[in-house]
């Protein structure tokens, strides 16, 4: 099993290392967001706000959810949180009781299993099939549902796979939620970053969905720690509100103002960020495929999740070897679950120059270690 301690063995402070492990945009926040921050400070908007969040931000979020995600939710059913992380954690805490089962896709974002553990729940994995583009398999989910199943957590666009949720699958997931009486917790943090196809929200089709989103990725606002949760179910809403109230009181007033400016004035910046990511995605996908990795083109987020060529290495062994010999950092697929084994997650949130250099280093690394082996294989085939 993956051991996070292994990171401590790798000296990521080495200035020569090119990190393709980063889970945040390399871009800075859009100018309107900076203006929002300055405006908040200048106008002394630095006190506690209402626990739910400032009304103008919740109204802007409700408008966005209706126009872009087809989710009809009142601002009163939205809570502004300290990042998507808080929204996710408290959604799980509000829904799951000790002994309840929670279905997670495998591979999935690294924080989901701990959230379930903190709530006393039990994780039940549903393996995703790479041949189907790591899309959700509704039949496998139904097979795993028992009397104890309380929730299903999904994340589209996905970290680590870049898969998006099709309209049919979003509707199908909503039907599963309604038919089986389970709550879908939908983490849509990468929603703004999609390329050829958009990703759909299950909450457009069912009220049994808790939608979680934030400003860290599409608006590059990771350090401002601002997100939100939208939920129609009053009991779940109350639960999340109590947890938020007694632990955080409210999200940062300055970040709330910044988030308002993000939604109202930063759409062009998001378009620019997506186009910049698209160039990097195409570069790394082409480069990795030429080097022998099986690397499909992801539809969203800023990660590729290729299969490591058959060199007899586990994903952790490969990442450690690549780090030591090529000075390129990435995350082993096993970090995201058993079905991630054999894969590696490269983030293309880096400069074009660094991505090119990382690919050159990888080419040298492969030539040094595996050229002979590849040649030998070619001869026998
Ligand atoms: C899938 C997923 N959900 C949530 C988060 C956390 O986002 P936030 O910065 O809004 O807490 C991340 C961060 O990498 C993520 O990848």
Instruction: Note the Cα 171 to chain centre separation in Å.
Output: 21
- Is residue 56 in some structural domain? yes
> For residue 378, what pLDDT is reported?
39
| pLDDT single digits (tens) 196-242 | 999 999 999 999 999 999 999 999 999 999 999 999 999 999 999 99
Cβ proximity of 273 and 301 under 8 Å: no
- Is residue 169 in some structural domain? yes
Specify whether 261 is located in the same domain as 272.
Answer: no
Strands 18-19, 331-332: pairing is unpaired
Pocket test for ligand 1, best of 25, 80, 85 (most atoms within 8 A of CB): 85
- Is residue 282 in some structural domain? yes
Number of domains comprising the chain: 2
Ligand 1 centroid vs 109 CA: distance in angstroms?
A: 8
- Full domain range(s) for residue 59: 31-265
Domain endpoint, select from 265, 296, 331 = 265
Ligand 1 centroid vs 302 CA: distance in angstroms?
A: 12
Instruction: Note the Cα 16 to chain centre separation in Å.
Output: 27
> For residue 22, what pLDDT is reported?
87
Specify whether 336 is located in the same domain as 238.
Answer: no
> For residue 193, what pLDDT is reported?
98
Specify whether 145 is located in the same domain as 292.
Answer: no
Specify whether 219 is located in the same domain as 364.
Answer: no
pLDDT-derived band at 3 (thresholds 50, 70, 90) equals: low
pLDDT-derived band at 13 (thresholds 50, 70, 90) equals: confident
Specify whether 227 is located in the same domain as 329.
Answer: no
Number of the ligand 1 atom closest to the C-alpha atom of 109: 1
Specify whether 54 is located in the same domain as 14.
Answer: no
253 pocket-lining for ligand 1 (C-beta < 6 Å): no
> For residue 14, what pLDDT is reported?
83
Q: Provide the percentage of residues in the chain whose pLDDT is more than 70.
A: 94
- Is residue 161 in some structural domain? yes
4 contact partners, CB below 8 Å, separation of at least 6: 335
Q: Is the pLDDT of residue 179 over 60?
A: yes
Q: Is the pLDDT of residue 32 over 70?
A: yes
Specify whether 239 is located in the same domain as 340.
Answer: no
Specify whether 168 is located in the same domain as 259.
Answer: yes
Angle (CA) 323 328 333, round 5°? 75
Number of the ligand 1 atom closest to the C-alpha atom of 86: 11
pLDDT-derived band at 8 (thresholds 50, 70, 90) equals: low
**Lowest-confidence segment of 3-7, 94-98, 173-177, 339-343 by average pLDDT:** 3-7
The CATH number given to whatever domain includes residue 149 is 3.40.640.10
pLDDT-derived band at 1 (thresholds 50, 70, 90) equals: very low
Specify whether 304 is located in the same domain as 360.
Answer: yes
- Is residue 224 in some structural domain? yes
Write the CA distances from 154 to 54, 207, 247, 305, integer angstroms. 28, 16, 25, 17
What are residue 283's phi and psi, to 5 degrees?
A: -60, -50
- Mean pLDDT (the chain, rounded): 94
Domain endpoint, select from 245, 265, 285 = 265
> For residue 7, what pLDDT is reported?
59
State whether the Cα torsion 123-346-186-85 is positive or negative: positive
Q: Provide the percentage of residues in the chain whose pLDDT is more than 90.
A: 92
Specify whether 87 is located in the same domain as 182.
Answer: yes
- Is residue 201 in some structural domain? yes
| Chain position carrying tokens 């409700």 | 62
Q: Which of 205, 203, 148 has the alpha carbon at shortest distance from 181?
A: 148
Specify whether 221 is located in the same domain as 306.
Answer: no
Ligand 1 centroid vs 379 CA: distance in angstroms?
A: 46
Number of the ligand 1 atom closest to the C-alpha atom of 84: 10
State whether the Cα torsion 220-222-225-231 is positive or negative: positive
Domain endpoint, select from 225, 250, 265 = 265
- Is residue 381 in some structural domain? no
Q: Number of helices (H) and strands (E), helices first, in the chain?
A: 12, 12
Ligand 1 centroid vs 45 CA: distance in angstroms?
A: 26
> Measured between alpha carbons, how far is 275 from 112 in angstroms, rounded to an integer?
29
- Is residue 155 in some structural domain? yes
DSSP states of 240-262 = HHHHHHHHTSS--HHHHHHHHHH
The CATH number given to whatever domain includes residue 362 is 3.90.1150.10
219 pocket-lining for ligand 1 (C-beta < 6 Å): no
Q: Which of 151, 152, 157, 167 has the alpha carbon at shortest distance from 204?
A: 167
Specify whether 94 is located in the same domain as 202.
Answer: yes
């Amino acid at each position: 099993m993956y051991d996070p301690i292994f990171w401590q063995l790798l000296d990521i402070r080495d200035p020569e290392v090119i990190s393709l492990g980063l889970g945040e945009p390399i871009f800075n926040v859009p100018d309107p967001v900076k203006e929002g921050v300055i405006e908040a400070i200048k106008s002394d908007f630095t006190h506690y706000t209402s626990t739910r969040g400032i009304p103008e931000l919740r109204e802007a979020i409700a408008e966005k959810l209706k126009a872009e995600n087809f989710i009809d939710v009142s601002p009163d059913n939205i809570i502004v949180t300290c990042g998507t992380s808080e929204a996710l954690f408290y959604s799980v805490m509000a829904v799951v009781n000790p002994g309840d089962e929670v279905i997670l896709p495998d591979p999935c974002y690294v924080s989901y299993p701990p959230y379930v553990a903190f709530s006393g729940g039990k994780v039940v994995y549903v393996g995703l099939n790479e041949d189907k583009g790591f899309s959700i398999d509704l039949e496998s989910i139904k097979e795993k549902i028992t009397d104890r199943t309380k929730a299903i957590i999904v994340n589209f666009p996905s970290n680590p796979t870049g898969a998006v949720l099709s309209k049919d699958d979003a509707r199908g997931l909503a039907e599963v939620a309604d038919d089986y009486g389970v709550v879908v917790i939908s983490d849509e943090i990468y929603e703004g970053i999609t390329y050829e196809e958009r990703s759909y929200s299950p909450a457009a089709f069912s009220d049994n969905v808790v939608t979680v989103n934030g400003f860290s990725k599409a608006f590059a606002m990771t350090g401002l720690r601002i997100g939100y949760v939208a939920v129609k179910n009053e009991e779940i809403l109350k639960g999340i509100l109590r947890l938020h109230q007694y632990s955080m009181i409210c999200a940062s007033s300055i970040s709330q103002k910044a988030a308002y400016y993000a939604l109202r004035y930063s759409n062009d910046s998001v378009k620019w960020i997506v186009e910049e990511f698209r160039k990097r995605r195409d570069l790394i996908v082409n480069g990795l495929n030429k080097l022998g990795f099986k690397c499909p083109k992801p539809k969203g987020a800023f990660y590729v999740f290729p299969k490591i060529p058959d060199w007899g290495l586990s994903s952790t062994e490969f990442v450690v070897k690549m780090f030591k010999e090529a000075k390129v950092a990435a995350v082993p697929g096993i970090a995201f679950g058993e079905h991630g084994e054999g894969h590696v997650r490269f983030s293309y949130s880096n400069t074009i120059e660094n991505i090119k250099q990382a690919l050159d280093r990888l080419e040298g690394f492969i030539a040094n270690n595996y050229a002979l082996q590849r040649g030998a294989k070619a001869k026998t085939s």
